[in-house]
Amino acid sequence: MNVEPNAPTERGPQDWFTGEVWIDPVTAGHGSHRLSLGNVRFAPGARTAWHTHSIAQTLHVTQGNGFVQARGEAVINIRSGDIVNVAGGEWHWHGATPDHFMTHLSLTEGETEWGEQVSDAAYRSK
């Protein structure tokens, strides 16, 4: 057993996010494939860029209200307690609503490929 101190909070990289986003890394996993767990906090209106994961991603909303969208599908409202399962290879984005913060735990398996930013017009077109 090994008890580690909390890792410092990181600012979400601008090429991955629009708006104010903070990430508290929890773990990078212990096996042979990439696995990461982080607590991610989005300010109102903040969101990820379009992205996909080679294996999968699970989001557990722990606070606030947000949106998630798969490419070509409708925007879905998510709230505290919701669990979102994203299949490998599915292009998607997620973030806070315009008037609420949103925090989720993000469990990502495999490699992440980042795409273009979600424009303000596309974000507001929900």
Question: Does 4 map to a domain?
Answer: no
CA–CA dist 21, 67 (Å, integer): 15
Q: What is the mean pLDDT of the chain?
A: 94
Question: Does 18 map to a domain?
Answer: yes
CA–CA dist 126, 124 (Å, integer): 6
Question: Does 46 map to a domain?
Answer: yes
Residue of 43, 77, 83, 36 whose CA lies nearest to 61: 83
The residue segments making up the domain with residue 41 are 10-124
Mean of pLDDT values over 32-45: 92
Is the pLDDT score of 126 beyond 70?
no
CA 125 to chain centroid, in Å, comes to 20
Note if the pTM is more than 0.85: yes
At 88, which CATH number? 2.60.120.10
Is the pLDDT score of 70 beyond 90?
yes
DSSP character at residue 82:
-
